[in-house]
Amino acid sequence: FDAEAFPNGEPNLTALVKGKKLYNVNTGATAWSDNAGLVIRDYLTSSYGLSIPTADLDDTTFASAQTVCDDTINLAASLGGGTQKRYTINGAFTTNVNPRSLLEKLVASMAGIMWYAQGKWRIKAGSYTSPVITLTEDDLRGNLVIQTRQSRRDNFNKVRGKFRGDETNFQTTD
């Protein structure tokens, strides 16, 4: 601090920070992005996150999630019209937060799910997926039978009674 350079006191400094540059699975480039799929992938692989090796990530699912997040959606006219990206993450967190809790919030920001299967982390962003197969009655193993109520007779597996008589010397027995 130099009193002659700043006669009115120390100046207020402000900065506009965009955030960390992220690896883009689709293009192979590293640049700033608010894409939810890329932010989650970065958290999984970063030293401040879970430090998961990239070989343990299913990049196909992360690329699909990234594409869904980057899709543009039309805004209602009452909101001013225009378009915006489907899912973005903008914010900050501290590293003392429980990783599971943080991941749940990050995944929820894209209405998605994340799971670990067959040695790989996988992710899916929330979006409509067209059906790839149509099932009919021909695909059933047998005839379709619907029974809405079970008979009273079928509700019991076994009935036992206690008897006492002269043949058991009046002692209770099955």
Q: What is the pLDDT of residues 112-158, one digit of tens each?
A: 999 999 999 999 999 988 889 998 888 888 887 787 777 777 776 77
Please check whether residue 71 is in contact with residue 118, taking contact to mean a CB–CB distance below 8 angstroms: no
Least confident of 24-33, 89-98, 115-124, 158-167: 158-167
* Confidence (pTM): 0.68
Higher-scoring residue by pLDDT: 33, 162: 33
Structure tokens at 115: 């799971």
Q: What is the pLDDT of residues 99-125, one digit of tens each?
A: 999 999 999 999 999 999 999 999 999
DSSP 104: H
Range 104-120 burial, b when 16+ CB lie within 10 A, else e? eebbebbebebeeeeee
Other beta carbons within 10 angstroms of residue 28's beta carbon come to 7
Checking DSSP bridges between strand 83-85 and strand 21-23, what pairing results, if any?
unpaired
Query: What is the predicted pLDDT for the residue at 174?
Result: 78
Query: What is the predicted pLDDT for the residue at 63?
Result: 95
Query: What is the predicted pLDDT for the residue at 109?
Result: 94
Residue 8 confidence (pLDDT) above 90: no
